Amino acid sequence: MFVVGLTGGIGSGKSTVAEMFAALEVELVDADIAAREVVAPGTPALAEIAKHFGSEILLSDGDLDRGALRQVIFHQEKERHWLEELLHPLIRKWLIQKISSSRTAYCLLVSPLLLETGQAELVDRILVVDVSIDTQIARTLARDGGKERTVRAIIASQIGRSQRLEHADDIIDNEMPREPLRQRVEKLHQGYLRIARAKKRQ
């Protein structure tokens, strides 16, 4: 299976780009979905989190209160590391299972932490969705609300923009309007299809 890793900082528009690939019938393997599933109610990981942070980290229906957890881990580095050590191996296992069961010509591993977590080892090529930090902040606040201080803390916790671009095989500048963006995705898609077919013939 030829795997393209799609990544970018918070608010860069990864989801928009991923949806455009999905419209071209490319299977998505989404690390955000993995992150939700491994802490679903009843999972051992959620029980560990509640034990560590206290039951107030849970909502009334037993689900994880992500907003409350985010406020803790992005202002306390030690707690963020504890959570990452618990969840990253579980997420990686989930991603590998999904990739192995993919049936499209190639699949897209969509992950905001592709480079920070070692998930890049699972992909053949890295596609970075890039925008300015000002755009990241503005889009995230418009989408999620919250405080600029928290958004800046999240950005600081991710790999730097210049480092992310250094790892890129392909880059999408997502400051552009939607139609040129769609055309850029289509062009990349055709290139990935050619690579995937060539790899299959080897």
The phi, psi pair for 180, rounded to 5°, reads -60, -35
Q: How far apart are the first and last CA of the chain?
A: 12
pLDDT tens for residues 94-151?
999 999 999 999 999 999 999 988 999 999 999 999 999 999 999 999 998 888 998 9
Task: Record the tokens describing residue 51, joined without a space.
Answer: 């034990």
Task: With beta carbons less than 8 A apart as the criterion, state whether 101 and 144 touch.
Answer: no
Write down the mean pLDDT value for the chain.
94
How many Å apart are CA 196 and CA 17, to the nearest integer? 20
Computed over its alpha carbons, how large is the radius of gyration of the chain? 18
Task: With beta carbons less than 8 A apart as the criterion, state whether 11 and 137 touch.
Answer: yes
What pLDDT does residue 90 have?
96
Q: Which residue has the tokens 């957890």?
A: 69
Q: Which residue has the tokens 């107030």?
A: 56
CB neighbourhood size of 66 (10 A): 13
* DSSP codes of every residue in 19-61: HHHHHTTPEEEEHHHHHHHTTSTT-HHHHHHHHHH-GGGB-TT
